Amino acid sequence: MSRAFCIPGIVFLASLDIVRVKVATQSSNAALPAAINDLPLFTQLRLGVWTACQYNLKDDRICGPKHHGYEILIGNPLNANKFTTIKSSWTRGLAVHPVATGVTFIAFLMSFSTHITVTLAASFVSFLAALLTLIAFAIDIALLALVKHAINGIGIGAKTETAPGFWLTFVSLILLLLGGCTVCFGRRKERMSSSYTNYPMQTSGRGKFWAKVTGKA
């Protein structure tokens, strides 16, 4: 089977940030996981799969420890009673991203085979990767909504928006679906072409009669 049918499915998810919080003023402060204290004012906060990073007024990046299901405490320095926590239960589901990446990689390797069983399996694995990516995208949407609601509640003049990882997940989902479909259609087209080529030609009765008259077999 032509590998051109597999090209749309060769897409990898990357561990980019999913959600970003941008502060228009210098009125906010954040404390990344408990081990880090007294952080400077931040202008941007980026939530990734394994950790979150903040950028201060000098554009220096400070990241918390990388682990599964991290937490972030964000407070309003002008009002000690206003703070919010991005809970680990909100970020724990982001681990689906690397799982989807691994399954996508397996589908990618299998797509290079010309064996019928492997190509059909590649299509199945591609759809499985698409399902996992769909779940990851749903988690991204939920995280975006939760963070936006939490940030708006503490009044620090911040804007919550999607990050590159969010849209990469969406694009990967679409291409994985297309990749799985093209593998199926490509294999079906090849089988139809093979069946047509191997179909035996039958000689009509008229042809046999004419062969006897002319003496040609």
pTM above 0.75, yes or no: no
Instruction: Write the pLDDT tens digit of every residue in 161-209.
Output: 999 999 999 988 888 877 766 655 555 555 555 554 554 545 455 555 4
Q: How many Å separate Cα 28 from the centre of its chain?
A: 32
Place of tokens 């593998």: 183
- In Å, what is the CA distance from 195 to each residue of 1, 189, 199, 200? 15, 10, 6, 10
Phi, psi for 14 (deg, rounded to 5): -120, 155
Instruction: Write the pLDDT tens digit of every residue in 12-30.
Output: 444 788 999 988 654 445 4
Q: What is the mean pLDDT of the chain?
A: 74
> Where along the chain do its domains lie?
3-187
CATH topology of domain 3-187: Butyryl-CoA Dehydrogenase, subunit A; domain 3 (1.20.140)
